[in-house]
């Protein structure tokens, strides 16, 4: 730790000071007029030098009768020492003020840099806040889209599932009609014998039906009023549904009906006007409605072939085009481009 200078009273480091070998008091080298390169191993201060052995008492204490020069020398040395101490103090104060000014200038520059850095940080924080706000808005939009997509996806999946279940149920119902045929265009009369009519129609198209081949025969649909005089139905007759014992018999009947297309009921019903009859597969209500829509769309689009086979509905533009199976209304829009 630095000691205080015995001349100026300020602190002095070891390199800048010299210590008296007798009183151990430190002095600035500048205060005692010692150069920095001088050797000061056995140096003594002014107060300790007169007390050294060999010094004259008269020189120290008694003035000469003529006004000894020793006393003047001491006073002169004291004045020089006081002047040197003042100059040392002024020099140190100037150095300290200069150093303080330099430090203040450095502090001002650092404060300016700090202010600029703070301004940059504030600007960056503002930009970052804006970006965070934009990201949050985008996330909200994406979440909303995801939510809407999920809801619509779930709804779409449910609709597809319901449609598929309906198609499966319709296919099962249609499977129950694999041995049935539907005859349309046959006049309906009161008290008619349906089994006899079916047998005569089959004979008309070249198919011989035995009694064991027919399981049942009946009219389907809402019963219509009869003419009281003739017993005939005034409106369009209801279709005649025939259930056969074997599928092979049904296929034979349908094939013969396609070959003899345009046959009429002449000789089948006595006293009635001949009408053209048609024999087709029996379809479920849903398939009937769907087949009607397919035929209507095909006519409008110029398609040549629309038919049913084993309860399935098919369509083909021409003989060289592929065939399409129609199961739902959506298939109609997709196939015919509606």
Contact 200, 189 (CB under 8 A): no
Q: What is the pLDDT of residues 94-134, one digit of tens each?
A: 888 888 988 899 999 999 999 999 999 998 888 888 888 88
Q: Which residues pair with 206 in a beta bridge?
A: none
Residue 183 has a pLDDT of 94
Residue 75 has a pLDDT of 42
Does residue 279 carry a pLDDT above 50? yes
Contact 329, 297 (CB under 8 A): no
Q: Which of 139-143, 248-252, 326-330 has the lowest mean pLDDT?
A: 139-143
Which residue is associated with the tokens 């020398």? 73
Q: Which residues pair with 243 in a beta bridge?
A: 180, 216
**pLDDT, average across residues 2-8:** 77
Percent of the chain residues topping a pLDDT of 70: 83
Residue 133 has a pLDDT of 87
Q: What is the pLDDT of residues 169-216, one digit of tens each?
A: 999 999 999 999 999 999 888 888 999 999 999 999 999 999 899 999
Read off the pLDDT band of 91 (50, 70, 90): confident
Can you give the C-alpha Rg of the chain in angstroms? 65
Question: Residue 238 half-sphere exposure, CB side, CA atoms within 13 Å?
Answer: 17
Here the tokens at position 47 are: 């107060």
Closest CA to 11 of 103, 96, 107: 96
Here the tokens at position 305 are: 């072939």
Read off the pLDDT band of 226 (50, 70, 90): low
Residue 272 has a pLDDT of 78
Which residue is associated with the tokens 């072939």? 305
Q: Cα separation of 2 and 11, whole Å?
A: 6
Does residue 80 carry a pLDDT above 90? no
**pLDDT, average across residues 37-50:** 77
Does residue 2 carry a pLDDT above 90? no
**pLDDT, average across residues 318-325:** 92
Does residue 73 carry a pLDDT above 50? no
Does residue 290 carry a pLDDT above 70? yes
Does residue 53 carry a pLDDT above 70? no
Q: Cα separation of 237 and 272, whole Å?
A: 13
Q: Is the dihedral of CA 193, 195, 196, 198 positive or negative?
A: positive
> How buried is residue 70: exposed, middle or buried, by Cβ count under 10 Å (0-12/13-18/19+)?
middle
Residue 62 has a pLDDT of 33
Q: Which residues pair with 326 in a beta bridge?
A: 313
């Amino acid at each position: 730790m630095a000691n205080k200078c015995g001349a100026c009273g300020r602190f002095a480091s070891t390199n800048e000071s010299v210590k008296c070998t007798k009183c151990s008091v430190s002095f600035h080298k500048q205060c005692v007029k010692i150069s920095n390169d001088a050797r000061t191993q056995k140096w003594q201060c002014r107060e300790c030098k007169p007390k050294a052995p060999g010094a004259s008492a008269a020189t120290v204490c008694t003035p000469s009768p003529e006004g000894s020069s020793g006393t003047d020398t001491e006073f002169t040395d004291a004045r020089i020492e006081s002047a040197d101490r003042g100059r040392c103090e002024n020099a140190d104060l100037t150095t300290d003020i200069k150093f303080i000014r330099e430090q203040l200038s450095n502090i001002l520059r650092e404060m300016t840099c700090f202010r600029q850095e703070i301004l940059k940080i504030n600007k960056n924080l503002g930009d970052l806040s804006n970006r965070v706000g934009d990201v949050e808005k985008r996330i909200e939009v994406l979440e909303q889209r995801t939510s809407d997509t999920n809801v619509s996806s779930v709804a779409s999946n449910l609709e597809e599932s319901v449609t598929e279940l309906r198609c499966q149920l319709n296919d099962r119902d249609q499977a129950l009609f694999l041995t049935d045929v539907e005859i349309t265009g046959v006049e309906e009369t009161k008290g008619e014998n349906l089994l006899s009519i079916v047998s005569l129609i089959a004979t008309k198209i070249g198919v011989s039906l035995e009694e064991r081949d027919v399981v049942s025969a009946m009219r389907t649909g809402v019963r219509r009023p009869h003419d009281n005089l003739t017993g005939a139905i005034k409106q369009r007759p209801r279709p005649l549904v025939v259930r056969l014992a074997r599928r092979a018999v049904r296929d034979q009947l349908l094939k013969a009906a396609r070959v003899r297309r345009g046959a009429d009921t002449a000789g089948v019903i006595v006293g009635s006007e001949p009408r053209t009859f048609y024999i087709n597969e029996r379809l479920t209500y849903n398939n009937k409605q769907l087949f009607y829509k397919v035929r209507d769309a095909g006519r409008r689009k110029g398609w040549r072939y629309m038919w049913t086979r084993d309860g399935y509905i098919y369509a083909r533009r021409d003989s060289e085009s592929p065939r399409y199976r129609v199961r739902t209304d959506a298939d109609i829009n997709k196939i015919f481009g509606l």
